Amino acid sequence: METHELEAHTAYPPLEVTSVAARIVSRDENWLRLRWRIEGTGKLVVPPFAGKGRADELWRTTCFELFLKPEGGEAYCEFNLSPSERWAAYDFSTQRDGMENRPVPREPECTMRQGSSFAVFDAAIPAAALPQQDCAAGLTCVLEEEGGIKSFWALCHPGDQPDFHDPACFTARLAAPTTA
C-alpha cells in the first residue's frame, strides 16, 4: 500500500521531529492495519501504558488518528489511537457536528516501538468497526515533545489552524473490502 508523507502545520512546528510517514498496511476480513513512522524522536513524549479501553481527549498528547468518509455523503468516522493503548472512535453526521461514540465490537490493538532516533506506531482496527464502502481517508497525528510542544501532522493543512476534520485533509483512499 502507498506511504503518505504527512506535513506539520506551520503554526505549530515540531521541536526535533523531522518527518512522519503514514500508511495503510493491509485490510482483511478481520483487521485494518496502519503504521506511522516518526523520525527525530529524541524529545518525543509517549503517553505511559494505561491498558486497553475507550478514552476521550487522547489528542492532548501524542496520538494517531484515522478519518474515514464513505463516498457520496457528509458523514464520517474518526479513530484515535494512543501509544498508551487507549483508543476512541466517533461518528459525525457532518463536519464536526453530530458526534457520537462509534460502536467497536473488539478493541483496537496498538504498539509503539522506539529506536535511537525514530519510532514506529502500529495499529489494527477491527474490520467490523469500519465503513464497508470506498472511503476518503485522512491519516493524522498529534506529536507532543518535551516542554509541552505539540505539532499537528496531516496529509495537508488547508487553513491557518490545524483542522483534521476538514474534508480537504481526506486525500488518501481506503477501498471497500472485497468478497471472495
Q: What is the CATH number of the domain that holds 35?
A: 2.60.40.1190
- Distance, in Å, from the CA atom of 8 to the CA atom of 152, rounded to the nearest integer, reads 5
Give domain status of residue 179, yes or no.
no
pLDDT at 14: 98
Per-residue exposure over 35-65, b if at least 16 CB sit within 10 Å of its own CB, e if not: bbbbebbeebbbbeeeeeeeeeebbebbbbb
For cell 525514530, name the residue: 118
138, 156 Cβ separation under 8 angstroms: no
Round the average pLDDT of the chain to a whole number and report it.
Answer: 96
The count of domains in the chain is: 1
pLDDT at 8 over 70: yes
pLDDT at 180: 55
3-state SS, residue 167: helix
Give domain status of residue 180, yes or no.
no
- Distance, in Å, from the CA atom of 59 to the CA atom of 152, rounded to the nearest integer, reads 10
| Domain region containing 64 | 3-174
Give domain status of residue 37, yes or no.
yes
- Whether the predicted model's global pTM rises above the 0.75 cut: yes
What number is the average pLDDT over the span 44-58? 97
94, 66 Cβ separation under 8 angstroms: no
Give domain status of residue 68, yes or no.
yes
- Give helix then strand counts, H and E, for the chain: 0, 13
